[in-house]
Amino acid sequence: MPAFRAVARRVAGTGRLGVQGLLRAPDIDQVLAVLAFIALLVDPVLLHKVTHVTPVMGVLAFVTALPLVARRRFPLGVLGIVIPLLLACLVVFHPNRAAVGIVMLLVFTVGLEGGRFRSLVVGALMAPVVTAAVLITGQRGNLLDVIAYSSLVLGALLAGEALRARQALGRALAEEAAHEREAAAQHRFDEERLALAHELHDVIGHALVAINVRAAAAARRERKAGRAEAPTALDEIASASAEALTELRTAVKVLRTAQDGPAPLHPIQDMASLADLVAGVEAAGLAVDLDVTGRPAALPASVGHAGYRIVQEGLTNVLRHSTARRAQVRVEIDDCAVIIEVADDGRKRAASFLTGGQGVRGMQERAAALGGTCEAGLVNGAGWRVRARLPLGGKGSG
């Protein structure tokens, strides 16, 4: 029979088949209906209730077993149809054990496929049914038989209810895990987006500021020298770089939208590269006094990268927002932390809006990601200072 072969292949393919998987196999209902039909006919013969199978027994057994093919789609309906038929079978040819097994299967299905309220109702209604069955089948029905059969039936009902609850818990845990995976993927995406915003601002912004400052300075020198054509081209370079800076700030602001997590760190440059950074800034026209105490090369990669970006942003802010011609960079490295200071003694340029900009916020986020702090502000009413402290034992310095 195809249904038997399908179940046999399922068992052979997995090596084992649990109760849950067996009862939910696609063709198991047909198999159970056939087994119930055979059991209803064989059981009374084995118990010597009858000597041979009659056509009436066959018809009753067939009609009783047939609804089992729909037990999962209509568990309550099948139970309601089969119970009276089983009572009729018990009256005619007494398939006692087969009847108990079929009832246990049906109430188990009701508990598995239904809800808790349905299980309680079925459990309450089964008590008089079991009592009637005992009175029909027993030569002398007694309370012990009623209790024994009721325990079997209610035990099957509770088993189905327990399995249903376990499946519901498994589905809830699976949904929670799926939500966690989705949240983790979104978090990784936000981290990558914020990292891109940092790198765009730090790398491209630094280069554009240097271009803008050098072009503007060269234009001023050319005007002082009395050349009229060259300053026009240099002014265009300065204007274009200023517009590019504005567009970059807009793009960075969009990338940062809805980002609440700490700044991710992807080490590229580190504190050992400060000399090269200072050389590039000095080429843009800003003299820098660099003072490093300690061993930058020994710093954790994340701390070194964050410190480099803070110094870079601090010097970029001096170039862009201050009239200073000289800046001081001081780095102190000890066993506990790295102290970074970038200061100048110039005044704020007109139309400058440093406070609250993306650069200051980026420095503060980099420091906070490592468990440190970063402050930026005026010093004694003139000049600007950035001061950051990056602990070496911070949450992101490993």
Which amino acid, residue 212? N
pTM given for the model:
0.46
- Cα separation, 46 vs 273, in Å, equals 92
What is the per-residue pLDDT across 121-172, written as a single tens digit (0 to 9) for each?
A: 888 888 788 877 777 766 555 778 788 888 888 898 899 888 888 888 888 8
Three-state secondary structure string covering 31-62:
HHHHHHHHHHHHHHHHCCCCCCCCHHHHHHHH
Q: Which pLDDT tens digit goes with each residue over 313-327?
A: 888 888 877 888 889
104 contacts 55 by C-beta, under 8 angstroms:
no
Query: At which of 141, 169, 188 does a domain end?
Result: 141
- Strand, helix or coil for residue 325: coil
Alpha carbons 183 and 266: distance in angstroms, whole number: 21
CB 269 within 8 A of CB 305: yes
Q: Which domain holds residue 394?
A: 263-398
Question: Is the CB of residue 332 less than 8 Å from the CB of residue 339?
Answer: yes
* Domain-located, residue 213: no
One-letter amino acid for residue 317 of the chain: N
Per the domain annotation, does 374 fall within a domain? yes
Residue 104 reports pLDDT greater than 50: yes
For residues 230 and 238, which has the higher predicted lDDT (pLDDT)?
238
What is the rounded distance in angstroms from the CA atom of residue 376 to the CA atom of residue 360?
A: 7
Tell me the per-residue pLDDT of 23-82, one tens digit each, with 9 for 90 and over. 556 578 899 999 999 999 999 988 888 888 899 999 999 999 999 999 989 998 999 999
Q: What is the CATH number of the domain that holds 363?
A: 3.30.565.10
CA angle 203, 205, 210 (to 5 degrees): 100
Q: What is the mean pLDDT of the chain?
A: 78
- Compute how many other C-beta atoms are within 10 angstroms of the C-beta atom of residue 311: 28
- 25 Rama sector, left if φ>0, alpha if ψ -120 to 50, beta otherwise: beta
pLDDT class for 296, splitting at 50, 70, 90? confident
- Whether 354 is covered by a domain: the verdict is yes
Domain presence at residue 238: no
∠378-383-387 over CA atoms, to 5°? 60
Strands (DSSP E) found in the chain: 287-293, 326-333, 337-344, 373-378, 384-391
Q: How many angstroms separate the CA atoms of 61 and 375, rounded?
A: 87
| 229 or 372: which leads in pLDDT | 372
N-to-C CA span, the chain: 65
Number of domains in the chain: 2
348: left (phi over 0), alpha (psi -120 to 50) or beta: beta
Strand-strand pairing, 337-344 and 326-333: antiparallel
Q: Which of 79, 113, 141 is the endpoint of a domain?
A: 141
Place of tokens 């080490």: 267
pLDDT (0 to 100) of residue 258? 46
**Band of the pLDDT at 251, cuts 50, 70, 90?**
low
**What tens digit of pLDDT does each residue of 350-370 get?**
555 444 556 788 888 888 888
Collapsed DSSP state (helix, strand, coil) of residue 290 = strand
pLDDT score recorded for residue 201: 65
pLDDT value for 61: 94
Q: Is residue 25 one of the residues assigned to a domain?
A: yes
Q: What percent of the chain has pLDDT over 70?
A: 73
The DSSP secondary-structure symbol of 69 reads: G
Residue whose tokens read 């006094």: 289
**pLDDT (0 to 100) of residue 199:** 66
Alpha helices in 200-257 (DSSP H): 205-224, 229-256
Query: Using CA atoms, how far apart are residues 81 and 120, in angstroms rounded to an integer?
Result: 19
Last residue of a domain, one of 141, 156, 173: 141
Cβ of 379: how many Cβ atoms within 10 Å? 12
Question: 349 in a domain, yes or no?
Answer: yes
Q: Let me know if residue 129 belongs to a domain.
A: yes
What pLDDT does residue 67 have? 94
Convert the pLDDT of each residue in 65-89 to its tens digit: 999 999 989 998 999 999 999 999 9
DSSP labels, 142-178: -HHHHHHHHHHHHHHHHHHHHHHHHHHHHHHHHHHHH
Domain assignment present for 342 = yes
Please tell me the distance from the alpha carbon of residue 130 to that of residue 40, in angstroms, as a whole number: 17
